[in-house]
Amino acid sequence: MPLAHQRADDDTVRSGTIVLADEQLAGRGRQSRRWETPPRQALLLSIIFQQPLPWALHEIPMAAALAAVQAVSSCWSTLSAEVGLKWPNDLLLGQNMASAGKFGGILVENSFYGTEISHVVVGMGINVLQSATMLPPAQPGAPPPTSLRHYLATNKQQVSCDRTDLLIALCLAWSALVAPSQESPTLQQRWRAKLWTLGQQVTVHAGVGQPGSQNVLLMGEAVDVTPEGHLLVRDADGTLQRCTAGDVSIRMAPP
């Protein structure tokens, strides 16, 4: 993403420019979490959006998530009902939230010129070819890491995985979202429909690092999202609490 920000500062770089990486040595996720990705195993890219932005700021993460879901569904039609989202930015594969594994994530960064946003960079990482031994260990309460290849093989689906095909499908999905048909549901409605977090019992953690009991803000049921993308959690008293993606982490509550 740093290289994408550097490129975006060049006035000749157009909105929609994609910066690709073949491996990740010091990846950065939400709340400064870090990860590494072996060479030639994942689709790692950053997309630059210059002003004027194609969507409102809060809609850009929604568009990124939907583009990823649609790209996977386009490349592997058998996965259409098995790809979903964990609020706010995790890409999931599975039959439901309880069985899902995480195969990717999204990070959106805004760049400012004074008090005005000059450009936005959307970072996307999608695990494509990793074997089980290449994947990091699972974290408590979080979906275990997986890849498209590993998930397909585990479910006895003998389908090839190609990073270039997925990149092409992703570009087509982004283009379709920029110019949707008038009959299509709104971006927020389509994003909400893929949120597997809704209806689940969750714990909301504050701060960075590994979630633990010492930083639990609340527990309750994830019942909805606001038009701006905030998660609404109903606590034990029946009160709706609003959670903002940049401030908290969500984990599934223990059964």
- 154 to each of 88, 95, 208, 240, how far by Cα in Å? 26, 13, 32, 39
CATH superfamily to which 2-193 belongs: Bira Bifunctional Protein; Domain 2 (3.30.930.10)
Helix axes 163-178, 60-75, angle to 10 degrees: 130
Tell me the mean pLDDT in the region 72-84: 95
> Is residue 248 predicted with pLDDT exceeding 70?
yes
Task: For the chain, give every domain's residue range.
Answer: 2-193, 201-252
Domain 201-252 has CATH 2.30.30.100: yes
Question: For residue range 92-117, what is the model confidence (pLDDT) as tens digits?
Answer: 999 999 999 999 999 999 999 999 99
Q: What is this structure's pTM? A: 0.91
CA 4/CA 120 separation, integer angstroms: 10
Higher pLDDT, 178 or 19: 19
